Structure 1
Amino acid sequence: MQEIKWGIIGCGDVTEVKSGPAFNKVLNSSLIAVMRRDAVKAADYALRHGVPKWYSNVHELINDPEVNAVYIATPPLQHEEYTLLCMAAGKPVYVEKPVTINASSAIRMKMASQQYGVKLSVAHYRRAQPMFLKIKELLEQKEIGDVRFVQLQMLQPENTDIIAPSETNWRLNPEISGGGLFHDLAPHQLDLMIYFFGDPLISSGVSVNQSLINNADDLVSGHILFKNGVVFNGTWCFTVSVKDRKDYCEIVGSLGKISFSVFGNKVLLTKNGEEEELVFAPIPHVEQPMIEKVNEYFLGHLSDNPCSIEQAILSMTVMDNFTALP
């Protein structure tokens, strides 16, 4: 292949800015087809974004001979089914996070990729952004010494604006999303911890629906012991007051600490009693750096998978362990 000609399955709100336009801004990449079950909305998306073809049937997009790679951006419930269909058709897949609804489903996706010999990458796209690459560099250079522990708090009010707008509340339906807002936001945070610190050794937690506003748990607390000895503790609560909202992660080492917001653009390095603030420019299409890497990987120009299904299974397993029933 000389160029990746992408098709999108699920051209909903999440693709309007953060990902969709980026496929036409990456070298040797173009978006040529989109699919949505609502034909009117699929046609409207294609018209507004200058996409040549649209479909309302997933099989028609997958079997389009011009489409040679697929981006799956549906709610998580459909990720496994559509990934397996693409794999059977021999088309590599870039799938949104969370990779699917649980680790068992993710393992089946991995097996399909191996069976068909087709590439599969996961949209843990913060791995490719300059801010998190810098944090990883600081850690590898031991700017804060040996890492001891990590504290993370994601506290949001009931009607948080931190998630992409949606016509329905599918994120709050565990049958479709795998859980609640934890399952939508925590994949970013937990994948970064795995990216920074490697494989988890032990993980466990508690998950509860305190408000009973819907069927999804709204508070999750969990801890991880990584194989390298780093300890992580995290709390996610989605029913705090607006004034108490917080997106904060602190990595504490033997010589200092690194503090940042996972959904922000600033990093605070504290060392020897001195503070240095690093500010990063906003990215118009937040997935573009990862899409660029995935595109190169699918073309064979990049040997390492930017985020493999094996890595996604690790974070999915942690999420399962945090939210498992006692």
Structure 2
Amino acid sequence: MSLKEIKWGIIGCGDVTEVKSGPAFNKIKNSSLVAVMRRDAAKAEDYAKRHGVPTWYINADDLINDTEVNAIYIATPPGSHEEYTLKAIASGKPVYVEKPMTLNAESAKRMTEAANGSGIKLTIAHYRRAQPMFLKIKKLIDEAVIGDIRFVKLEMYQSSTNELIAKSDEDWRRNPEVSGGGLFHDLAPHQLDLMYYFFGEIESFSGLELNQARLSAADDFVTRQIKFKNGVVFNGTWCFTVAAADQNDVCEIYGSQGKISFSIFGNTVTVSVREKKENIVFDSIPHVEQPMIEKVVNYFLEQGPNPCPPEDGVLSMILLDGR
């Protein structure tokens, strides 16, 4: 039976849901947030009261089995994504799961097989796909504004004390057993997914990972090289232990007639064609996942396609794993 309204339950109503995603569920037509879950009872209750959510839980199973909830948003650290996704699918409820999809590609494949085998909808939160800035970049590429695309250069350099990466009490992002692979696994899913979204099927890839500074168990220097089937070549470098003065976040797409430059975490796109240069500035989005969540709601209501199928999440995990 098709749904007429999406009544969301959030598993893991932590910091990532405070502004980025949580409020958006009540700002979209035919969508509402009706329940939240967090293991800390005081924090779960506080979140529910502040956001006007009628029900809160400390146990994920109770939220999944709540008859008022008909769709699940999983916003816990990646280490529990598979467990909760499989439980939600078993309950017959569609799932929107945060990026990275899970800990590794094998886990992602199990999640995908469970969704496809049961016919339950599953969408991965590679939400930059739905934002106006990246839709504009894709349009510029598709319309060959800078000619035929030759190669892409991406540099993500951050200091060990940067303010870009979300902080948490447990610092789980630097614990591979919980995050899958450190800060690379936290930030690179956005970047790698966009490359696939922009350029299509991948022919081959390679890379290396090093733990140079040994500030945690996670690798802090990573490279990825991708050859797409259309001949575009991607080179990406991530380092999370540079000097503060050397921090950088830039992606440059080179074509036969010009270049497109932008920051993955910024709001300006620079288009250079021959002697002309144009800066396109985009308004900030109060809740950065809202455009994606709107597409997910439409998909769950059978009013649109899946904005990021689990198969794309698997590919992202394969690229993160590096094998």
TM-score range (shorter-chain normalised) is over 0.9
The counterpart of 1:284, out of the listed 286, 296, 304, is: 286
Counterparts of 1:119-268 in structure 2, within 5 Å, are 119-268=121-270
1:306 corresponds to: 307
Tell me how far apart the structure 2 counterparts of residues 9 and 163 of structure 1 sit (CA, whole Å): 21
Amino acid paired to 2:289: E
The AA in structure 2 aligned to 1:287 is: E
Does the Cα contact within 8 Å between 1:199 and 1:314 map onto a contact in 2?
Answer: no
Runs ≥4 residues deviating over 4 A: none
SS across alignment from 1:229: coil
Q: Aligned match of 1:45 in 47, 53, 56? A: 47
For residue 221 of structure 1, report the CA deviation from its aligned partner: 1.0
After superposing the two structures, state which structure 1 stretch, 198-207 or 282-291, moved more: 198-207
Within 1, Cα distance between the matches of 2:211 and 2:179? 16
**Residue in 2 that maps onto 1:33:** 35
**Mapped partners of 1:315, 1:194: distance in 2:** 8
Select between 160-169 and 27-36 the one with higher mean Cα deviation. 160-169
Q: Is the 8 A contact 1:152 1:250 kept in 2?
A: yes
Could you tell me which runs of 5 or more consecutive residues in structure 2 were left unpaired when the two chains were aligned. none
1:114 is aligned with what amino acid? N
Give 1:111 shift.
Answer: 0.5
Query: Among residues 56, 59, 62, which one is paired with 2:61 in the alignment?
Result: 59
**Deviation, structure 1 residue 133:** 0.2
Structure 1 residue aligned with 2:23:
21
Q: For the residues of structure 2 that align with 1:77 and 1:224, how far apart are their CA atoms? A: 27
Deviates more, 1:205-214 or 1:156-165: 156-165
TM-score (normalizing by structure 2): 0.98
Which of the residues 106, 114, 117 maps onto 2:116? 114
Q: Give the number of equivalent residue pairs.
A: 321
* Matching residue of 2:275: 273
What TM-score do you get using the length of structure 1 for normalisation? 0.98
Counterpart position of 1:91: 93
**Deviation at 1:288?**
0.2
| Code of the aligned partner of 2:34 | I
Tell me, in whole angstroms, the C-alpha distance in 2 between the residues paired with 1:206 and 1:2. Answer: 47
Q: Please state whether the residue corresponding to 2:209 is helix, strand or coil.
A: strand
The equivalent residue for 1:82 is: 84
Q: 2-side partners of 1:94 and 1:58: how far apart?
A: 15
Q: SS at 2:20's partner residue?
A: coil
Paired amino acid for 2:243: S
Give the SS at the match of 1:17: helix
Q: Contact 1:200 / 1:314 at 8 angstroms: preserved in 2?
A: no
Residue 319 of structure 1 corresponds to 320
Give, as a single letter, the amino acid of the residue that structure 2 aligns with 1:315: S
Letter in 1 for 2:39: R
Once residues 221 and 61 of structure 2 are traced to their aligned partners in structure 1, the CA distance between those partners, rounded to angstroms, is: 38
* CA positional deviation for 1:167: 1.8
Could you tell me how far apart the structure 2 residues matched to 1:14 and 1:6 are?
A: 16
Unmatched 5+ residue regions in structure 1?
none
Residue type at the aligned position of 1:131 = M
Deviation at 1:165, TM superposition (A): 3.0
Q: CA deviation at 1:313?
A: 1.1
Deviations 1:195-231 (A, max 9, x none): 0001211111010000011101100011000111100
3-state SS in 2 of match to 1:284: coil
Tell me by how many angstroms 1:164 deviates.
2.3
Distance (whole Å) between structure 1 residues aligned to residue 169 and residue 20 of structure 2: 17
Give 1:245 deviation, angstroms. Answer: 0.4
The DSSP-based 3-state class of the residue aligned with 2:19 is coil
How large is the RMSD of aligned CA atoms in angstroms?
0.7
